[in-house]
Amino acid sequence: MLSLNATPMEKGTVLIVGSGGREHAISLQLAKSASVADIHVAPGNAGTSMVGSNHEVALEDIDGLCELAVRIGADLVIIGPEAPLVAGLADRLRQQGINCFGPNAEGALLEGSKQYAKSIMRRLGVPTAGSVMVTENSQIDSALGGFSKPWVIKRDGLAAGKGVTVTENIADARDAVKRAIETDGKVLIEEFLPGEEASILVLMDESGFSILPSSQDHKRLNDGDTGPNTGGMGAYAPAPVVTNMVMDRVISRIVEPMHEFLSGGSGPYRGCLYIGLMIDDCDPKVVEFNVRLGDPETQVTLPLVQSDLGLLFMAVSEGKLSDFKLDVSKKHAATIVLASEGYPDKPIKGRIVSGISFEEDGTAAIIHHAGTRLDGDLVVSSGGRVLSVTGISDTLEGAINGAYSRISKVSMEGGHYRQDIGHKALET
């Protein structure tokens, strides 16, 4: 069984819930863990099937996931995506006495409702953009008139990282608001924040918190941060924009008040709090909270963790994070995402992906599968973001070059990846 006090012979069984690049990255890191014997993934992808055992249980099948955890004798369940967390999977598992890395449904509301998250930030004095909630079409013009362009329109609920519209066109803004009202009954119109984005992943339980290396995601589909928003087209870590001064302010103004708040309620927050930041002149403000490890941020942060990941996640699940010493490499990492033709709106699936080596030892670059499945001996695309390639080096330039060198050998009809991941950092 996984335990901080376990002998080297005591190894545990881990179930990872999810099917993306984040979950493959977690599985690869757990495979190096001396505390982990068996890795199971539900539903998983082609990459996770090479690391552990995949199980065809849908993310929305909360009963099925709980039954699977019991059947395999899971000592720890790691929940990757947001939807099962919002649906209360962590609550159900803990009721059955199963340790879980991921917050309860109450904590997951921080991502499940942007309106709720804004209310908490206002209550705690956490710096963020001004906003207004709109529920009727008759309110649209007045609400938009309260903000300078560009207008930022955010769906209130879960949208897989693609529920944000930023536009300077008033007609497009009105249309985005109307569509969101039709879909969700409400929509958030927000002040535009200038500056540079960064992501902070905070592992948290009631005993304390630990911060993983800062990173910067690239959310737009195309080079130069153009095109539609996506789930993320690449990332690098650490992010130079997060200076020591910025990190000190993030901790004192955001992490500490959120930790105090989340340590109360119906149950302590045990998992990862993702903080999406906009940083302008060393002044960090919260763009959004997510309640899980980010994707693709996980692909560049976890390979830098030198501690036993199984023991780390188990410590969080048991409320014993303060007893664990987090050891992080001083290296740099960069990941490039390969997306399907038509992504993000209507990705074309079923195309053969070649140029992939299954001997992923992480020495030069790591391939993280996302939207992939096995068709016999072939790897075939099954989603919008198909895979990512992560380079690791002593320098950021070396990590970026390593990732691009490896992804250039991957081939898929209609495949697309950005050519400028990390270039902003190299130019500073």
pLDDT band at 4 (very low <50, low <70, confident <90, very high): low
Structural domains of the chain, ranges and CATH numbers in brackets: 12-104 (3.40.50.20), 131-190 (3.30.1490.20)
pLDDT at 182: 83
pTM, 2 dp: 0.93
pLDDT tens readout for residues 64-90: 999 999 999 999 999 999 999 999 999
Given a cut of 90, whether residue 388 has pLDDT beyond it is: yes
pLDDT tens readout for residues 378-387: 999 999 999 9
pLDDT tens readout for residues 40-62: 999 999 999 999 999 999 999 99
pLDDT at 162: 55
Distance CA 184, CA 333 (A): 38
Distance CA 30, CA 291 (A): 21
pLDDT band at 161 (very low <50, low <70, confident <90, very high): low
pLDDT tens readout for residues 242-277: 999 999 999 999 999 999 999 987 778 999 999 999
Is the link from the previous residue into 81 a cis peptide, with omega within 30 of 0?
no
Given a cut of 60, whether residue 322 has pLDDT beyond it is: yes
pLDDT tens readout for residues 167-195: 888 888 888 888 888 888 888 889 999 99
pLDDT at 274: 98
Averaged confidence pLDDT in the chain = 92
pLDDT at 41: 98
